[in-house]
Amino acid sequence: MDHDLVFFGELFLRTFSYWWVIIPAIFIGLIVGALPGFSAANTIIILLPLTLAMAPEVGLTFMVALYASSRMGAGIPAILFNIPGTAGAAATPLDGYPMTKKGRGQQALTMSFVASIAGGLFTTIIALVALPWLSQVAYYLHSVEMIVIMFFGISLIATIAAKDTLKGLIACFFGLMIGFIG
């Protein structure tokens, strides 16, 4: 367990020496992410052959920067042209495009980028703090406990729909059926 933390700490400290990979990945991700219909996964798949010549940690750093920046770039056409390029940017035109029509498009883009960066940093810090504890919990879970956790999640969703529990269960199982596709 401790050697995993040492590895992640060393990788975090060495990440600053990988700026030669991070900066181009950010620019490529922003440009490709701004293309409507081009998802972050498509971007990684197309540029995956570039990582074959890299060391594993450098390639992973490249793909993470590419993924995050292409998700951030998906908000550009949503704000400027009212065309959400991906499902993740579907709510962005609701506030961003009216700001663009009022002449405040640059402010909308800045707010979108700052929110994306802050959210990414926050979740990364939370994940780094919680991963050691979650890995210990997952080590003790077996298939029976996993099924109990799944049913707990389903019942939690049903109880959140407090007005009608049956409708909540039906919606939950309908969502599970949609999730099984593909």
* Contacts for 52 with CB less than 8 Å, ≥ 6 apart: 59
Mean pLDDT per 10-residue section of the chain, whose length is 182 residues: 56 70 93 89 91 89 91 93 88 94 95 92 87 82 80 81 78 81 69
Cα separation of 38 and 67, whole Å? Answer: 12
* Contacts for 81 with CB less than 8 Å, ≥ 6 apart: 97
pTM above 0.75, yes or no: no
